[in-house]
Amino acid sequence: MKREKNQNMQRFYARLAGLSYIIFTVAGLVKNFLLDTGLSDINALDANRIFANEMHFRFEILAEMVMFLGVMMASVSFYFVLKSVNKQLAQTALCLRLIETVFGGVAVIFSMAMLALSSKTYLLEMFDLEQVHTLVRVVASFRAPAYEYSWIFMGIAGVITFYLFFKTRYIPRAWSVWGMFTYTSLILYPIAKLLAPIPHEVMYLLMPGALFELGVGIWLLTVGIKLPKSDADALDVSQLASKE
């Protein structure tokens, strides 16, 4: 009875993780491709103020918050799915995801600071519009690195998570291999950018990662995970996953 209850809990959290993956992937795609808005051109400041589309920027901040809420839901859910397999590794992945969320929260704060600076009318009494624009641009320069360096922690956590899935066969191994490859690329990109200047467009090579997260999210939500049928099988899975 207890084993059946635990497995039902694992199945529930696996589906919740899948839903969370869909939520934060869709929120990220909406943010980056539908709502991504830059600062107005200097020559258009009198007409458009600071942002090219301020309402888009406000919705972009909302999408960022939804995205990181989804990340936290998925992280906690994966912990409950995998803690019986290898509690130490599951806890490590969860802690790394928490660090990722802290970095993401900092990025959201920078976004909100940009919005706040652009709407403070008293600043125009001390600075002209072009100087305020420059101040907002300076704050914006901290935003992208906060996101990108959070990927290092997300990548390590993702590799651990899908390594455990690979060892347990809870999901098809093809998903696990794709996941480990995807999250390894997320580790390498910010490290490479830190060591040498690379074009921003290189980031679009990471698009297969977004497809993976959406795909595995749909799989987990609709198909779920395949759990061992007996206590002996469950013990074998746990021992196999903890060997290395």
- What's the pTM? 0.85
| Whole-angstrom distance, CA of residue 98 vs CA of residue 143 | 18
Strand partners, 39: 51
| Whole-angstrom distance, CA of residue 183 vs CA of residue 166 | 14
CB 15 within 8 A of CB 214: no
Kind and range of the H or E run holding 73: helix 54-82
Question: What is the domain partition of the chain in residue ranges?
Answer: 2-232
Terminal-to-terminal C-alpha distance of the chain: 31
| Whole-angstrom distance, CA of residue 35 vs CA of residue 11 | 34
**Which residues, at least 6 apart from 98, have a Cβ–Cβ distance to it below 8 Å?**
72, 75
Q: How far is CA 160 from the centre of its chain?
A: 15
| Whole-angstrom distance, CA of residue 150 vs CA of residue 66 | 16
What tokens appear for 180 in the block? 């480990």
| Whole-angstrom distance, CA of residue 119 vs CA of residue 55 | 12
Per-residue pLDDT of the chain (244 residues; tens, 9 = 90+): 678 888 999 999 999 999 999 999 999 888 877 876 666 555 555 545 677 778 888 898 999 999 999 999 999 999 999 999 999 999 999 999 999 999 999 999 998 988 888 776 666 667 777 787 788 888 888 888 888 899 999 999 999 999 999 999 999 999 999 999 999 989 988 888 888 777 766 666 677 777 899 999 999 999 999 998 755 455 445 555 555 5
